[in-house]
Structure 1
Amino acid sequence: MKRYGGAVGIAATAILLRIALDPFLEGVQFITFFPAAALAGHLYGRRAGMLAVLLCGFAGWYFFVGPHGSFLIRTAPQAVTLFLYFTIASALAVGSDMLRRGAEREHLAKLALEEQRDVAEEVKQRFRRSEARLLLAQRAARAVAWEWDFETDSIRWSDLKTLHELAGDDLDWVTGFEQWCSRIHPDDLDAHLKEAAAAVEAGRGILECRIIKDGEVRWIEATGEVVERARDGSPLKMTGITLDATERRLAQQHQQLLINELNHRVKNTLAVVQSLARQTFKAAATGEARAAFEGRLQSLARAHDALTRRNWDGVSLAEVVGAATSPFQSGADGFAVDGPELQIRSEPAISLAMAFHELATNAAKYGALSVPGGAVEVRWRVDENVPEPLLKIRWRESGGPAIAPPVRRGFGSRLLERGLATELGGRVEVLFIPEGVSCEIDAPFTRLVRSDKMPGASSAGEAGAL
């Protein structure tokens, strides 16, 4: 309503002005009405402008066309005059509105464009800051991102500075794959190409190899993933990151050197202990006692060796059994070991090794391994049909001389039934039955095995099946 009120005000002003100027404007009846139509259309829109056209037109018709004070049309020129007024005034009102709308649209478009430019500039600034932070992080980590284009067989790098520090100053932003391969150590090249092909086929991969930079051998680690494929599924592009792994590799080598040195020193210490024991028992103990003591030290040393080969990160149960019983397996065709592959923690591995040594020593002296045709079976399985899964290990002798329960428990029996049971947190029972010695070991699975993941392999069965 405000728009129409404004149009009425403009029309009234134009009519009053025309009446006031009537003595001076003979023959130009609508001269003040055309500006009013254009002004009303521009300020308030085409509908308000048409209202002003009608009000001014009827006022001019009534006061200035034909007989004054009448709407009669007596001559054709009067009708033409009215027709031309309404046509021209309507065009001015509509045209002014269109010009105003066009100007408004142009202004809004400019504002939108400026806003888009501001947003785009802000996005660019954020991207530049993010890119700068990423570049700083990559340089701190001595890493460089890359994109491998399989169609051109070229590699595009993200940072020349890091690339030059990593692989040499003669590499450019875009490097041919063959040129990059020329940096790889000749001893690693074939394996690197095979691993790269496997990674491309799998869609992702992690590779390590040595490169030669200015005559210096360095280690690198590359991680990549295929990010673009053709319609037939063949890879087109792979992106990833390559970092300098030299310091980590040197640290690992140094760590391994320290472990080897520690192992050597422990073995020397054990040899010294063995020598001291030999000298100590030389006059005060029998040869049997000395042999038993030395055998236990040697068993401890073999278990230590097995763990050292794996950096004390666990060892397979089969290897523990094999290392502890190896001195007694010569000529014993009936020695059988069977069970799922399990990685035993380092602490219980030592205790199990000593236990198997005691059992094997007893079998070689008095049991199945003391006569031809005797046999020893060592089997284990995981029992999951209990609230807490158990690792069940069974030692059983057969084919040896008939035995009877001992009158007095020796060191070996005490080591098994007390020491081993406490160490494993389970049950250990040695049975002296006429067919041969049988040892049953039941211990919590998660306490012995390095991972709590249950093995998928099937086991040998209960002790009664042994």
Structure 2
Amino acid sequence: MRENRFEREVRERMGLVPHFFQTASEAPGLAEQLWAQAKSAYMDNPLPSLFKERLFVHLSRFCEVRYCIVRHTGFLLGKGYPAGDAKAATETIEQVLQWLSRPVPHAMRLEAAITQLEGYAEPRDMPAPHTRGEEDLLDALTVMFVVPARSAQARVAVKHAVGGKNLEYLLAFLAFVRTAHYWTQTHPDLEYESDMIMLMAQHPELARRLLDTADAEWVNAGDALREALTGQLHVLNTELQHRTRNLLSVIRVLFDRTLAKHSTLEGFAEVFTARLDAISRVQVYLSRLEQGEKVTFDGLLQNELAAHAVTLQQITLDGPTGVRLRSSALQTFALALHELVVNAVKYGALAHPAAHLSVRWEVEHPQGEPPMLHVYWQETGVPNVQLDDSAPPGYGRELIERALPYQLKAKTRYELLPDGARCLMSVPVLSEGSAPFSSGEELK
């Protein structure tokens, strides 16, 4: 049958004439209107062609009718032109199978993706395929597509990451995908094109992933995502309340103990502000972590040293990287490190050019017990150390000798020697795989 002008235009642009545009035959002119929509929001949309096609395939997983995912997977594989662009790159069967196997994003993963997008210093170009940036953007767009009424945070994050203009192009694209899904769902007689029928016959695994509507990942992904968002928001809210109560308790104790040691408002304000800053640094550190990551000891230590603008010329740091700390230990342990650094800067090894600070740490794995991080802090070469045992201990020493053992089940020892302070702290951690450290080793 001879093609009319409309069909020739579609074939020239898309590489074939999808059955999608043949469903409106009983309404003259309607197919042309659908084509105009497709050109405006999909093909002529200035977003990168391969990104649009990958996004179309991904979002089509949420449609129970399989026409869109089959057809647009075909475009992605070079059966026709991706996003109507004859010059666009295409993908292999292996790449597409991996894309179709991508896990449906759960709420915690969505939270991590949105946090990552919000962390951009300024809007960037649209991400390249197969990058972390594309993964994060796809997860945020999933929320905007599946649960638009609950997607305010995702929209703000996407706008922050790629700019307001690209956000509007993305919204137009999502609207067209939604229209395409609705159209196929209301035209159940829509048949797959012969090129995709043959391709699926040659690749059974591809056919299984495209057509298996019994798999809840494909059929119920939208409902599952809604449930995950609702449930995880409750979990996150409960966890936030728990952490807030803990943090307020730490600040209250900090206030009381600082007030007890200072008789003037000026002295109290200076010390209390510095300790609040130490807590704030931990919160900032936590906010920059990706989902599933934990604060590490070396990261926490170097963060505290950097906050006091100390150089490493007088410091030796020796220990494994990546020793993960328990969430329950963070605030108190961070305050202990803060007190050690402050005392070293004001009175100890970091206050005297000829003195030296050594910080060593190792992890022990006792049989049947949690791993223990052993931190050995030693200052040497400090002149005129005051060794008056009758003086009441300061807040830092109380924190190390009393609060750490009580709150964290730590083992500690703090001493002032003629040439400087030395401290041993043994704290339960989440780390794995380090050489054991003998807790009975003498301090040298």
TM range (shorter): 0.3 to 0.5
Identify the structure with the greater strand proportion: 1
Q: Look at both structures and tell me which one has the larger radius of gyration over its CA atoms.
A: 1
Calculate the TM-score normalised by the size of structure 2: 0.46
Instruction: With a CA cutoff of 8 Å and minimum separation of 6, indicate the structure with the bigger relative contact order.
Output: 2
What is the TM-score when the length of structure 1 is the normalising length? 0.44
